[in-house]
Amino acid sequence: MIRVKIRSWTASFRYPTFQSGYQPTLPVPPLSTIQGLLSAAKGEIASFMEVPFVGYVFISEGKGIDLEKIYALGKPVTDVMKREVLLDNTLYLYLPDEWEEHFRKPRFQLLLGRSSDIATVEEIKKVELERKENVPIGGTIVPVSTGLPGIIHALVVEFDYSTIPRRAKLVRPFTILPFPRTDGQKKRQTSKNKIPYDSELGIGVWLHEGLHGEV
């Protein structure tokens, strides 16, 4: 498989539960953002149907709150909304080899969230992940069935773009695991089962495989 290293100055991932006047960001991208990245690289809407597996590790160095003027529904005046933004981000994508050509020459600009979150490919390399027990997982989302502790959200796996506006095609509950930085966090987010391990980053990589043919 290949590992694509993507970097951006800013990123924002829509928090699924709506909050009035405040838009927080998820600490890691949901699968639908990954679908968006794959689509932008390929130049056409990609579906996980065609991708046998995908794994990712997202690391962010900081955070901030931006103010945005919005024109709210049903209100004649403009309003100011707070929006959370992640700073200096790295996303490692683990993909089948055939994706290398798309990420070498992406058809559209790669974004980690909104149009201001321009990202760039910094490195593409072939990696072999050894399956190991008792390794920490993080910077990703995992199915709730793994039993790992974390915040649970119903997240969109994939969007259907054939309707306007786009429609969520598949929504599933996931446990959100931020990238573990402290020993305590690593310990909490350790999986007892054998999972692929990236020894360079020192992190277990959850490969979303079941999506193949299911979406």
Partner 1 sequence: MRFAVGIVLIDAPHSALNMLGIDESLADRNVTRVKKLRKGGKSYPYVSPQAWRYWWRKTLAEHFNWELSPLFREQKQVFTAANPIDYPDDDVFGYMRAFKKGNTNITVTRVSPLKNTPLISVLPDRSSVTTDEGYASRHEGDPVPYSQEFYSTVLKGAFSLDLDSVGRFTRIDKAGFKNLLDKDSIKNKELKKEVEEMEKKAEELGVQMNRKEWLMPSNIRKKRASETIKAIRYFLGGAKQTQYLTDVTPKFVILAMFEGGINPFISNVVYDDRGEIKLDNEAIISRILEFKDLLNPKKVFIGKDKSFMREWEDALKKVKEELEKDKIEVVLTTVGDAVEAFAKEVEAYYG
Give the binding-site size for partner 1 (rule: CB under 8 A): 48
Residues 107-126 that bind partner 1 (CB under 8 A): 107-111, 115-122
Among the listed residues 71, 126, 128, 182, the single contact to partner 1 using CB under 8 A:
71
Q: How far is the CB of 48 from partner 1 (least distance, A)?
A: 17
Other CB atoms closer than 10 Å to residue 194's CB: what's the count? 13
Among the listed residues 106, 138, 178, 180, the single contact to partner 1 using CB under 8 A:
106
CB 37 within 8 A of CB 108: no
Q: Which among 23-31, 39-47, 139-147, 185-193 is the span making contact with partner 1, rule CB under 8 A?
A: 39-47
**Tokens 């259907």 -> residue:** 160
Residues 163-182 that bind partner 1 (CB under 8 A): 163-166
CA dist 115 and 133 (Å) reads: 39
Tokens of 136: 């920490």
CA dist 10 and 118 (Å) reads: 8
| 63 is an interface residue for partner 1 by CB under 8 A | yes
- Give the contacts of 34 (CB within 8 A, at least 6 positions apart): 54, 56, 93
| 67 is an interface residue for partner 1 by CB under 8 A | yes
Question: What are the angstrom distances between the C-alpha of 108 and each of 72, 89, 124?
Answer: 30, 20, 18
Give the footprint of partner 1 on this chain (CB under 8 A). Answer: 7-10, 40-41, 45, 61-69, 71, 73-76, 80, 85, 87-88, 104-111, 115-122, 159, 161-166
